[in-house]
Amino acid sequence: MAKGITAGFDPGFFWNLVVRQIRGDYLENLTGFAWLVLQPLLLLAVYSFVFTTIFATRLPDAVDIGFMPYLAVAFWPWTAFSESIIRASGSISSNAALIGKVSFASEQLPLASVTATFMMHSAGFLAVLVVLQLSGTSIHWPLLLVAVLLLSLLWLLACGISLFTSASEVYIRDVRQILPPLFTFWFFATPILYSPSILPPWLAEVMHWNPMTWFVAGFRNALLFGQLSFDALDVLVPIAVLGLLWLGLCYFRRFSGHFEDFL
């Protein structure tokens, strides 16, 4: 049996992994920390220019608030979600020496990578909300707790998916190359750059099966429109996320016993 699964989950060790990930990816060099903020800002600027100037897009949902806030509130959580999974997908392979020498629950590696990425992007998201408020956009701060709950649930979803991808990457090394284009497709299949109301009815209905549609709508309704509603999806999506997290953990532990043979 691999050493990486002979011990249980250790909160202290897990936190050390998170801190190490934050330091290595963001804090030990200026460019890493600056790029955390600059990359999403540059992409926001590009998308805003293309869709408001070149294509002269007018979104019914964004008439009163502007395209940039409409985009930013959805774009930042998406960036945390997609980047965390892509980073975590190679966490087992890149820590092969640690798995072979230290006794610990190896699922802590992808979970720590996801957690570190979400922590850093959450700080950036809060800074963006403050900037939007200072620039004239009305942010509904009393509903910030709803956004925090949504971000926490999105973190759990990323954890569940990363358990699948990180375990699979040990055996199928192409996983890390496959994920970026898949997430690009998922990004454009999610109403981040547009409103579902501009889609044909049949396509808007299909869009409801995309879980990120629910998250995007939740962030916008809470922070930009000050709306708080409750329907069946508000129960089904959290249950589905928890179910996926459990399946991901089962999948990871099913194959983690053979990691050392392939690393």
Residue 65 pLDDT exceeds 90: no
Residue 106 pLDDT exceeds 70: yes
DSSP 3-state of 249: helix
What is the tens place of the pLDDT at every residue in 145-180? 999 999 999 999 999 999 999 999 999 989 989 999
The whole-number pLDDT of residue 49 equals: 75
For residue 23, what pLDDT band results from cuts at 50, 70 and 90? confident
Closest residue by Cα to residue 85 from 7, 208, 187: 187
pTM reported for the whole predicted model: 0.88
| Average of per-residue pLDDT across 201-215 | 89
For residue 40, what pLDDT band results from cuts at 50, 70 and 90? confident
* DSSP output for 75-127: HHHHHHHHHHHHHHTTTTGGGHHHHHHS-S-TTHHHHHHHHHHHHHHHHHHHH
- Lowest average pLDDT, out of 81-85, 115-119, 168-172, 203-207, goes to 203-207
- The single-letter code of the amino acid at 197 is S
The whole-number pLDDT of residue 186 equals: 96
| Average of per-residue pLDDT across 234-238 | 93
Q: How far is it, in rounded angstroms, from Cα 46 to Cα 146?
A: 29
Higher per-residue pLDDT: 79 or 103: 79
Higher per-residue pLDDT: 202 or 82: 82
Residue 5 pLDDT exceeds 50: no
Q: What are phi and psi of 191, to 5 degrees?
A: -75, 70
The whole-number pLDDT of residue 4 equals: 45
- Lowest average pLDDT, out of 43-57, 82-96, 111-125, goes to 43-57
CA distances to 22, 33, 65, 88, 127 from 28, rounded to whole Å, are 9, 8, 38, 19, 21
Residue 46 pLDDT exceeds 90: no
108-111: long-range contacts, CB 8 A cutoff, minimum separation 24: 108/9, 108/10, 108/13, 108/14, 108/17, 109/17, 109/166, 110/159, 110/162, 110/163, 110/165, 110/166, 110/252, 111/14, 111/159, 111/162, 111/163
CA distances to 114, 120, 148, 175 from 32, rounded to whole Å, are 16, 11, 25, 24
Residue 6 pLDDT exceeds 60: no
| Average of per-residue pLDDT across 242-253 | 96
Half-sphere exposure of 59 (CA within 13 A, CB side): 21
